[in-house]
Structure 1
Amino acid sequence: MTATRLLLLAAGLMGATGVAFAAMASHAYAGTSLSVAATMLSLHAPAVIAVAIGRKAGLLADLPARIAAWGLVVGTALFSGDLALRSFAGIPVFPMAAPTGGMVMIAAWIGVALAGAAGGRREG
């Protein structure tokens, strides 16, 4: 499976999980931070798709775009996973997991900006 296909798979799973968490947050887990996890997953899933396709289309510099896309996946999973585990079981993934995931997401967004500024094979 190619890197692009893996990123699209990850994005699809992120989106599906975001919708599931949103439903749970409005019913069984109302008032918890699960809604924040749902928002982060739902927001970053299409961003991963856009970066993966932009890299594949040659609009973004390849290596920075790959790193940024995977940073969005990992950072969002860590951030949202920590909030979800805290909502479901009252325990963190590990101390400072959510802030670490948030910092990874911020760095990944900067990577997206750099990948766009550097440009890819095609000028647009």
Structure 2
Amino acid sequence: MVLQRVLIFSGGLAGAAGVGLSAAAAHAGGANTGTAASFLLAHAALLVAVGLLPWNAVLRIGALIVLAGLVFFAGNLLMRDFAGTRLFPMAAPSGGMLMIAGWLVVGVGGLMATRAERNLP
């Protein structure tokens, strides 16, 4: 139950940050800010959707891996634009690899869904 709320909250936060950063990129420029905004918006839906689905541990683990990757990737891009430094060496590539891995785990979780989970209205 707590993990469900964390995923939904994180998805809402990512969506809000994505919209705000899209506006910042449009008005103040910053290619890294625009890229971070796009990634936040694209992954917000995944986090909310997995949080709303019936319990499936594999899906939730995949979503958490995506969330960690999103923090590293977007965080590094935003640090470059706003602080002129990196989050840590290889943060963006590490985050990207985590997002890819997380999406693959989510896909596997979908294959492992129970019959009741597959017959959702």
What is the TM-score of this pair, normalised by structure 1? 0.89
Residue 35 (structure 2) aligns with: 36
Residue 27 (structure 1) aligns with: 27
The answer to which structure has the higher helix fraction is: 2
User: Aligned with 1:26: secondary structure?
Assistant: helix
Residue 70 (structure 2) aligns with: 76
Gapped regions of structure 1 (runs ≥ 5): none
1:90 and 2:84 are equivalent in the alignment: yes
* Percent sequence identity over aligned pairs: 41
Query: How many Å apart are 1:70 and its aligned residue?
Result: 0.7
Gapped regions of structure 2 (runs ≥ 5): none
Query: How many Å apart are 1:121 and its aligned residue?
Result: 5.7
8 Å contact kept, 1:52–1:65: no
Equivalent runs, 1:53-72 vs 2, <5 Å: 53-54=52-53, 56=54, 62-72=56-66
User: Aligned with 2:49: secondary structure?
Assistant: helix
Query: How many Å apart are 1:27 and its aligned residue?
Result: 1.2
Rounded to whole Å, the distance in 2 between the matches of 1:15 and 1:34 is: 14
Query: How many Å apart are 1:32 and its aligned residue?
Result: 2.4
Query: How many Å apart are 1:31 and its aligned residue?
Result: 3.9
User: Aligned with 1:90: secondary structure?
Assistant: coil
Residue 4 (structure 1) aligns with: 4
User: Aligned with 1:100: secondary structure?
Assistant: helix
1:115 and 2:109 are equivalent in the alignment: yes
Rounded to whole Å, the distance in 2 between the matches of 1:118 and 1:5 is: 22
What is the TM-score of this pair, normalised by structure 2? 0.91
